[in-house]
């Protein structure tokens, strides 16, 4: 039913809203707007919501009215807005490199607990991964401004892998495809299960998502990192 969404990350985001018992008003607006953006018409959007939602107090008629209003307004704004040149993957990499300097190369332990400790001592914010999604196992918002302690790191369950939270020191770029290692060869890089690429940078960047291309991960955003299953440190061998 969600086959028009090519990005696993965005598909997870859609399902997170649909499966939330109490999604916010803004989350529902984003859901309708995004489904419209990727090519679903209003009946299809309402069908997806009707079959997948777990919302408490779901009202089919009210949802249909609100969704119709969102799409009508969104399309009007599109017509009024001047057409902009699309951001390319090269643009995304250029923005990242101009704002985040190369990180030191890291030799990360293969055991997740000790990898988390290693990342922590390097200044990153590691958080245990949820077994079913690309997000932490628990509520993590408080760690955006106050990192966990080493004692907390040592006490958490790391059996499902780990996430890294971008902070005031480190940012990331998440590219949906391979083939751009040369452009990021000075940075620590990790590959994803689907052939994408994460690069780690030192510095603060503004978050930016470009559909089906990649994402700049600024403070408060997350990536999944090695040694989580399927993630690998990208070796520099052969890169000039």
pLDDT tens profile 27-40: 988 888 889 888 88
What are the Cα distances from residue 124, in Å, to 77, 92, 104, 115, 121?
40, 22, 13, 11, 7
What are the Cα distances from residue 93, in Å, to 73, 89, 172, 195, 217?
33, 6, 11, 17, 12
pLDDT at residue 240, as a whole number: 40
Which has the closest alpha carbon to 21: 58, 49, 50? 58
* Average of per-residue pLDDT across 132-146: 92
Instruction: Say yes or no to pLDDT of 233 above 50.
Output: yes
Give 86 or 73, the one with higher predicted confidence.
86
* Average of per-residue pLDDT across 95-114: 93
Residue 10 CB neighbours (<10 A): 18
The string of pLDDT tens digits covering residues 154-201 is 999 999 999 999 999 999 999 998 889 999 999 999 999 999 999 999
* Average of per-residue pLDDT across 209-226: 93
Mean pLDDT of the chain: 89
Q: Which two tokens stand for residue 106?
A: 């890291």
């Amino acid at each position: 039913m969600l086959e028009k969404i090519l990005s696993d990350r965005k598909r997870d985001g859609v399902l997170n809203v649909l499966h939330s018992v109490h999604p916010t008003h803004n989350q529902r607006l984003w859901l309708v707007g995004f489904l419209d953006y990727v090519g679903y018409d209003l009946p299809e959007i309402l069908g997806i919501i009707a079959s997948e939602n777990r919302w408490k107090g779901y009202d089919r008629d009210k949802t249909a009215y609100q969704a119709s209003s969102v799409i009508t307004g969104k399309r009007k704004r599109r017509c009024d807005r001047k057409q902009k040149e699309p951001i390319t993957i090269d643009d995304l990499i250029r923005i990242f490199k101009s704002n985040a300097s190369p990180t030191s190369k890291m030799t990360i332990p293969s055991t997740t607990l000790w990898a988390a400790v290693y990342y922590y001592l390097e200044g990153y914010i590691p958080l245990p991964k949820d077994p079913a999604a690309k997000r932490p196992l628990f509520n993590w918002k408080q760690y955006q401004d106050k990192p966990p302690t080493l004692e907390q790191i040592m006490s958490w369950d790391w059996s499902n892998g780990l996430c890294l939270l971008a902070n005031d020191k480190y940012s990331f770029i998440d590219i949906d495809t391979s083939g751009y290692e040369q452009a990021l060869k000075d940075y620590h890089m990790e590959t994803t299960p689907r052939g994408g690429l994460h690069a780690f940078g030192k510095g603060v960047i503004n978050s930016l998502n470009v559909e089906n291309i990649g994402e700049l991960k600024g403070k408060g955003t997350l990536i999944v990192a090695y040694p989580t299953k399927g993630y690998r440190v990208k070796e520099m061998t052969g890169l000039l």
